[in-house]
Structure 1
């Protein structure tokens, strides 16, 4: 609609402008025709990228067919304008120089207006339209809603996380009487629920299922879904339950994200962070390649600037300002990932969670898994201003106001442990001051490698003593990964995670506080515990971790196993 109005305005404007200047009707017709084609060429160029600017080399050196099509269209314009037979047929006359100048200006105007529309629509319109769309969706019939899934291929039982529908072979009314289900159809339902019950399987109904095929198919829904759910492993049942309730699972697959990528309420954040010894540059890697539409979440930048401790949580106002700078609202779904798989993204997940954002998930396997699944990446250049948006907003730099955040952050103080609280916890564990401590008290779990936990290996940060807090249990964070590999890391199954916690002397059903070197990989274990439990409250983390505890002279430290 927007583009159509621009084209109409340019065509009619050029036509009547020529009339004012005294050109003949034939000349004005030729000019209006060429303005129409030029505006469409400009729109064709801008459509190469629906949400991003076309001011980069991919427009010039991209698809050669697009260039050939544009040049061919220009040739047709000249042909229609100057060939006498065509002029006579369409009652047009050749254009003069000033008219070609206006045609070129119309091309530029069209391109500029569409580029402006892309920027303003992406940033301004979604927040304005989202409440309207939600209201319309909430007050619409079920068959008109966004999550409605119509009947599928005739003769197939389709099970999905949100619905289970049977596509009738003929038009008719579905009934609920189980007595009308033939043995053949019951066998088909059993076949649909066999195997791993992945929630997306389907079974072909037998041919000639009976005269009451429509009714019999409808009766299968309840029994098939119940049997299917019982056949699923616990982790899959929890994922299906989360999908059915509209909740966002804590860990999502590349396929899950690809199905939602581009929605106005889904935001993707690259939260990559590396230890200095890894020798990698997270900013350079983000500039080179990222998931389409991803913004950069600065783990070190969106932090407390008043302490020397690394990536400590910022204030509520600073976090809200960073969210605003990235275009995230309280109702958006946030998906975080990193370039190692599952290293720093759990810290971003925990940070958003601890500030009260419920709809946040970690992309399992990160960017390596996304690429391995065959999905495209974005390589267009990004500006330094875009990269530093969250950092500058959190610190209130360059005209930003961290106190005027539209995003409303609410810090869950009970999930963030301070040095004084950790002293109390260590004393309680050491003295057994809490009644029934072994069965009810909080556990202290350290995610650092075993050598650092024992004090045998030096800390990577200078000035820190070696060892661990009294009463802490050691569970090095790679032990929750499949094969213990950090590259393209994926979590073990919930059953294997429970076994890993138990083997480390940690009761997965009791409360636990997690710590590590700087509060980053502690969040890996916090997320792993939630995966093992199938949800539950957010586990608390000691934010300062060993960077704080190991640097103080009066904190008790134990070495050895």
Structure 2
């Protein structure tokens, strides 16, 4: 029986990845460099390079569009304390359309690491665009000749379909913390979970520790040294402490936790998995909310 990584390599029937089809169809969550190389000229495959502009200019996958992740286009600060929250849906939809992503396009995300790639992937899922994949291993997995010429696509019509089923807010997290209706999964290093290290102030208001009831699953352990995702069996063992309940992933600002969300939701197919994009930055903005050290 073929595993998930075989699927990502395109060993399933062609229908598993519908090129040029409606975005209602889901793409494979991971694609390999060989698959991408074979589809670079497909007009409905849009490669988004999330690396900083300087890195993009130094060399990128041919045809990739620069979509630097560290900008307000992908995440915004909110009055409730959230440091890297999802922008208003009309705003992020306009950003996506301006990048040349249309309703019928298949997006392939390229980044330096899994967290940023997973957060952008999750953003497309929140917007109801299921035809999205991550290049396994990111930019360094690409062995083709780099291109230094900037690439751009004409602005496209992108129609968002907001999907709250993959997003948790502070009220839902508070409820899960009290009654155990969902498992809170802390994606940060163990030292931040147990409070021995204080997170950067802009992201958690100087609060050390975790939301009551949260289990620690450090997202950095999900990838191999070359940046590719570990085999499914290893990931299942890594997330075994989460159990069978629905899960809500969080971190300091909803970036690292996107990696945990991606593994649980898209690779392990755990039902009811959500991302709390407000994370500790929103949670700890109210000093009355408890934090365990």
CA positional deviation for 1:311: 2.9
In structure 2, relative to structure 1, the CA distance for the partners of 1:292 and 1:538 (3 Å cut) is farther
| 1:321 correspondence with 2:94 | yes
Task: Pick one of 241, 244, 252 that aligns with 2:31.
Answer: 252
Q: What residue ranges of structure 2 are gaps of 5+ in the alignment?
A: 19-25
State the SS of the aligned residue for 1:444. strand
Match of 1:107? none
8 Å CA contact retained: 1:269, 1:294: yes
* Bigger helix fraction: 1
Give the whole-Å Cα distance in 2 for the aligned partners of 1:242 and 1:301.
Answer: 39
Alignment of 1:299-338 (within 5 A): 299=69, 300-302=71-73, 303-304=75-76, 307=79, 309-338=82-111
Match of 2:42? 263
Match of 1:491? 229
CA positional deviation for 1:449: 0.3
CA positional deviation for 1:251: 0.8
Q: Which has the larger radius of gyration?
A: 1
CA positional deviation for 1:495: 0.7
8 Å CA contact retained: 1:242, 1:248: no
State the SS of the aligned residue for 1:510. coil
| 1:443 correspondence with 2:214 | no
Q: Deviations over 1:229-270 (max 9, x none)?
A: x4x346536864574343521011111111111211000111
State the SS of the aligned residue for 2:82. coil
8 Å CA contact retained: 2:93, 2:127: no
State the SS of the aligned residue for 2:130. coil
8 Å CA contact retained: 1:288, 1:381: no
Q: What residue ranges of structure 1 are gaps of 5+ in the alignment?
A: 1-229, 273-281, 394-404, 430-440
CA positional deviation for 1:450: 0.4
8 Å CA contact retained: 2:165, 2:274: yes
CA positional deviation for 1:322: 1.0
Match of 1:287? 57
| 1:506 correspondence with 2:242 | yes
In structure 2, relative to structure 1, the CA distance for the partners of 1:242 and 1:457 (3 Å cut) is farther
Task: Pick one of 203, 210, 222 that aligns with 1:480.
Answer: 222
In structure 2, relative to structure 1, the CA distance for the partners of 1:425 and 1:530 (3 Å cut) is closer
In structure 2, relative to structure 1, the CA distance for the partners of 1:478 and 1:243 (3 Å cut) is farther
Alignment of 1:7-406 (within 5 A): 230=1, 232-233=2-3, 235-236=5-6, 240-241=11-12, 243-245=14-16, 246=18, 247-272=26-51, 282-299=52-69, 300-302=71-73, 303-304=75-76, 307=79, 309-339=82-112, 341-370=113-142, 374-380=143-149, 406=157
In structure 2, relative to structure 1, the CA distance for the partners of 1:298 and 1:542 (3 Å cut) is same
CA RMSD after TM alignment: 2.5
TM-score (norm 2): 0.86
Q: Deviations over 1:428-468 (max 9, x none)?
A: 12xxxxxxxxxxx4211000000000000121235321000
CA positional deviation for 1:365: 0.8
8 Å CA contact retained: 1:465, 1:551: no
CA positional deviation for 1:316: 2.2
Match of 2:258? 523
Give the whole-Å Cα distance in 1 for the aligned partners of 2:89 and 2:280.
Answer: 24
Match of 1:211? none
In structure 2, relative to structure 1, the CA distance for the partners of 1:475 and 1:522 (3 Å cut) is same
TM-score (norm 1): 0.46
In structure 2, relative to structure 1, the CA distance for the partners of 1:417 and 1:294 (3 Å cut) is same
Match of 1:138? none
Match of 1:135? none
